[in-house]
Structure 1
């Protein structure tokens, strides 16, 4: 007789909220999801992650988008609206990690820098990803 018992994964029980698009952050959070984390991808209304439109090979979605966003939940929020900010704050209160790869300085302008969030959510890990760095010629 065999029993089907799933092995626990290293990040089971970890919740990640991600403000992500394109490549760097989606690939990072895909790795976290593969290791067991619950990843909640927050997308802008209308178009969502622009990587959806790179091609239409997978049922109308870009193959890259499908590959980097497997195993994630998705939520649409217009973070320019106060009510959306309240929802995001509620998500962060339950989260272990925030990953973002918005334009340089955008997260800080929205009050989502480590310094702004640490006092309210002291156990939250904040990960800022920049594909081209900050302050250089390719910023």
Structure 2
């Protein structure tokens, strides 16, 4: 029987609201290091990066590469019922990673300030491909 060596992030759970490049690449690294990554996708199309090309069984090669080793869950975060599901996930999670449009996470009550009161041990990571406050922020 082959036994695998423990990885640095074994036992860590990451919830990710991600699309395109920055956050999916980040959480892929976390998954490679052993974290359980649960990617939350919008209903219908999910992550728009799925459609960049169709090289891997109809999915974009980029999408497959950045999302390996992840679980995926469809939630419409604009619907009230989804907030209960997301709250249950965050209550057991160690990390939230998001790269939504600037200000979108805060408008949904997912800023560090809002989440820290409910989940004091949760690490919140906001990623922007273009930085905050710079000329390309929006």
1:74 alignment partner in structure 2: 72
1:125 alignment partner in structure 2: 123
Which of 127, 132, 135 matches 2:133?
135
Gaps of 5+ in 2: none
TM-score, with structure 1 as normaliser = 0.97
Structure 1 residue ranges (4+ consecutive) displaced by more than 4 angstroms after TM superposition: none
For residues 32 and 63 of structure 1, the distance between their equivalents in structure 2, rounded to whole angstroms, comes to 19
- Does the alignment pair 1:4 with 2:14? no
TM-score, with structure 2 as normaliser = 0.98
Count matched residues: 137
Deviations 1:41-71 (A, max 9, x none): 0000000000000000000000000000000
Alignment of 1:22-101 (within 5 A): 22-101=20-99
For residues 69 and 123 of structure 2, the distance between their equivalents in structure 1, rounded to whole angstroms, comes to 21
For residues 55 and 5 of structure 1, the distance between their equivalents in structure 2, rounded to whole angstroms, comes to 37
Question: Which secondary structure state, in structure 2, belongs to the residue aligned with residue 119 of structure 1?
Answer: helix
For residues 129 and 52 of structure 2, the distance between their equivalents in structure 1, rounded to whole angstroms, comes to 18
